[in-house]
């Protein structure tokens, strides 16, 4: 068998690949880690951080929180933030925030490791961007800030207990 041409290169997605396979992670955490593979380390981290902050603002009733979340979900860029958001939506806001914080931490570790690898001029495997376009694929969410939160924002079992 012919050896891989990347055998002597560092895999910048290794942290995420490990998290997708860790049986101790919830299925949602494994899924959002997998959805982040191939996304630029800095872009993935800052995009997830921005999304987590917006969800947190809405949950805490911060002024401008809904407008910020609506803007993020209606922005005409690639679908990474929408993909992460809709993968977690409807499962309860507390779990969503916990999973976003978890992902943000993993992506920060990955971005810091990436900086170290580049600073030391180590060879890396190429990142294959999972998005074929930098524009949205399909209709966008309305940018209206007066949307109504669904039951997962207030009937979350992590907030009110079992039904």
Measure Cα distances from 46 to 4, 96, 150 in Å.
32, 17, 26
pLDDT bin (cut points 50, 70, 90) of residue 36 is very high
pLDDT bin (cut points 50, 70, 90) of residue 155 is low
Inform me whether the pLDDT recorded for 146 exceeds 90. no
Measure Cα distances from 131 to 31, 77, 136, 147 in Å.
16, 10, 10, 28
- Reference 104, options 54, 154, 158, 157; nearest CA is 54
Cβ–Cβ < 8 Å for 39, 80: yes
**Looking at the chain, which runs of residues are DSSP E strands?**
none
> What is the C-alpha to C-alpha distance for residues 70 and 40, in angstroms, rounded to an integer?
23
φ/ψ of residue 141, rounded to 5 = -70, 150
**Could you tell me the residue ranges of all domains in the chain?**
14-126
pTM: 0.84
Measure Cα distances from 7 to 2, 10, 34, 65, 127 in Å.
11, 8, 22, 46, 15
């Amino acid at each position: 068998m012919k050896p891989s041409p990347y055998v002597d290169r560092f895999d910048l997605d290794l942290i995420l690949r490990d998290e997708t396979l860790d049986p101790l992670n919830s299925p949602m955490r494994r899924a959002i880690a997998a959805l982040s593979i191939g996304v630029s380390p800095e872009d993935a981290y800052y995009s997830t951080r921005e999304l987590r902050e917006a969800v947190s603002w809405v949950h805490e009733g911060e002024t401008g929180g809904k407008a910020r979340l609506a803007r993020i979900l209606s922005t005409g860029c690639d679908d990474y933030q929408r993909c992460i958001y809709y993968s977690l939506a409807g499962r309860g806001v507390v779990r969503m925030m916990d999973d976003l914080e978890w992902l943000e931490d993993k992506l920060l570790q990955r971005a810091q490791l990436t900086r170290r690898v580049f600073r030391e001029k180590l060879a890396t495997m190429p990142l294959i961007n999972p998005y074929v376009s930098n524009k949205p694929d399909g209709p966008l969410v309305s940018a209206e800030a007066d949307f109504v939160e669904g039951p997962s924002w207030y009937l979350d079992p992590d907030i009110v207990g079992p039904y």
